[in-house]
Structure 1
Amino acid sequence: MLTLAKALATDFDADGIRVNCVAPSIVDTPMPHADLWLTGKGFEGKPFPVHRPEEIAAAAVSPRT
């Protein structure tokens, strides 16, 4: 994904189009809870970063200037 984002950013730079890539760790939604067989306290105390959906949305959307 990073290489694709870099290639697209290079290709579209002349047109003034900016390309970004957001690659979070695990996002705390029902899907990873089911995929990782989590019960009880969920991701609490896990040794990897876990993000809330709002955090990822905030990173993906920037205010217009």
Structure 2
Amino acid sequence: MGDTTKRKILVFGGNGFLGGETVVELLATNTFDITVINRGNWNDYDSSIRIRPFVKAINID
């Protein structure tokens, strides 16, 4: 059997337009443990539903 350990990946700006779409594509592969670093809140309704529940989120100033 193959290795089932997920690779870790860090995404800066993962709730924005480009970063968010990148994270959605990474989530679809189900091969990454994703941490997203953002400035501010998850105000965008779409990224709050499609991304936030499935990643570790870190908010910074």
Same fold by TM (over 0.5)?
no
TM-score (norm 1): 0.27
Point out the structure with the larger strand share.
Answer: 2
Q: Which has the larger radius of gyration?
A: 1
Higher RCO (Cα < 8 Å, 6 or more apart): 2
